[in-house]
Amino acid sequence: MRGLYLDAFSGLSGDMMLGALVGLGVPLEVLEQGLAPLGLHGVSLVQRVVARRGIAATKIDILLDGELAEGPGNDHDAAPAHAPTPFHTHQATDGSAHAERHGHGPGPAHTHRHWSDIDRLLVRSALAARVRERARCIFRHLAEAEARVHGKTLEEVTLHEVGAIDAIADIVGTAIGLEYLGVEQLWVGPLPLGTGFVRTAHGRLPIPAPATMDLLRDFVVRPGDGHGEMVTPTGAAIVAALATREAPPAFRSLRVAYGAGTRELDDRPNALRALLVETLEPEANAGAGSANLGLALTGPHENAVVIEASIDDLEPELFTDAIEALRAAGAFDVTLSPLIMKLGRPGTLIQAITSNEAAGRVADVLLTETTTIGVRLHAVTRITLPREIREVDTPFGLVRVKVVRQPDGRLRAKPEHADSSRLARAAGVSVNEVRLAALQAAKASIGSSLISSEEKNR
């Protein structure tokens, strides 16, 4: 399984996350094209490489009408360590934490946008399903934390207009980047909490910000580590919504990149280290799921959980939303099967297969997004073929190709449909033409013995 491990030795913020993802190979134009349907007028992204104590790191700046989206009076030297929280108006007393971005762009400088408006914007957008659901999940975690801290309802939580735009770009951009890289699971190392105080509309509050502390429940943290704000609410919401609280399994590191924070820190590089990884099955667990079956499985396999429910009172169109939410929560696959329930009523069996780490989140989604009042969990062994994602160059652009090794040793390839569809629309050709070009490029780089999924099915 492909995952992302965040080594947040200097904390975490939305712009650091974007920088790390771009450093790992997400093209800036993919982020900009992905954000375009949201209609964030005047917003653009700028990528640059900066040095953080001798380490080359990717810095992503969000511009509004060509200007950095920062509050007036915050010159570069006095800018916050990370991107500011999008909620309320925060200004650090030590100059290192929140400094709300405002005063630029069209409309009044202090127009507010409710969380529900952001959620509706995402629901109605043309974003890919998992991108949309991951972004909604992050925003909901952020809004729920603010609501709990301030004793308000979700509908009362507001975002500053420019801060809201920054938050949307950071959060949706993160979801786009994770999808582009094929990330299925997210892990984060111990997080430094920082020290100091922040002046807010509610008075002088301690660092970490109350919403940040609320979001980081059950995560491993280091109290008092770092001066000023080290983890922003946006950064905390990303890990709270998407990262497992369990330690990562053994993995093979595929790529490493650094996402830069804004200013230089006195005691460490102000950067987020991100590792794109492929998980390895620990030897201790290699046969645990198959032992009860009396099988000797020598191929690649892993323990998994099937979560299911039988439903006879959910409107059919709502199953689509439930499936998207289950995938966003970490389900590898979701299936629907017809069945006959009590009193002869027709019903639907919905099943999701997921990892042990994500089982709790997936079960919660199934109980929340459907009408069921109970779910069943079964431990299973999942046999998987070794696979990797490769990028191949075609006349239409770069296409990701999933390459799978069959038990007989032969390699099988399948171009990613999202890439093929996007490039086909841009070039005005059929999706199949792009897929064939990608397969030809894959055979040229891997070998002529490579077979396609279509050839295997014949």
Which residue bears the tokens 């009044």?
108
Contacts of 179 (CB under 8 A, 6+ apart): 128, 130, 131, 134, 418
For residues 443 and 319, membership in a common domain is answered with no
> Chain-centre distance of CA 211, in angstroms?
20
Contacts of 316 (CB under 8 A, 6+ apart): none
For residues 110 and 40, membership in a common domain is answered with yes
For residues 260 and 313, membership in a common domain is answered with no
For residues 265 and 320, membership in a common domain is answered with no
| Per-residue model confidence (pLDDT) at position 10 | 94
Q: How many domains, in total, are found in the chain?
A: 3
Q: Output the domain CATH number for residue 400.
A: 3.10.20
- Is residue 232 assigned to a domain? yes
For residues 375 and 418, membership in a common domain is answered with no
| Per-residue model confidence (pLDDT) at position 92 | 33
Task: Tell me which residues of the chain have a pLDDT lower than 50.
Answer: 71-80, 83-111, 162, 282-298
- Per-residue DSSP letter, 147: H
For residues 142 and 273, membership in a common domain is answered with yes
| Per-residue model confidence (pLDDT) at position 319 | 94
For residues 197 and 65, membership in a common domain is answered with yes
Q: In 151-194, where does DSSP find H-type helix?
A: 161-181
| Per-residue model confidence (pLDDT) at position 83 | 42
Q: For residue 410, give both structure tokens.
A: 């032969």
- Is residue 287 assigned to a domain? no
Asked if 58 and 19 count as a contact pair (C-beta separation under 8 A), the reply is yes
pTM: 0.60
What is the C-alpha to C-alpha distance for residues 393 and 17, in angstroms, rounded to an integer? 27
For residues 416 and 274, membership in a common domain is answered with no
| Per-residue model confidence (pLDDT) at position 297 | 47
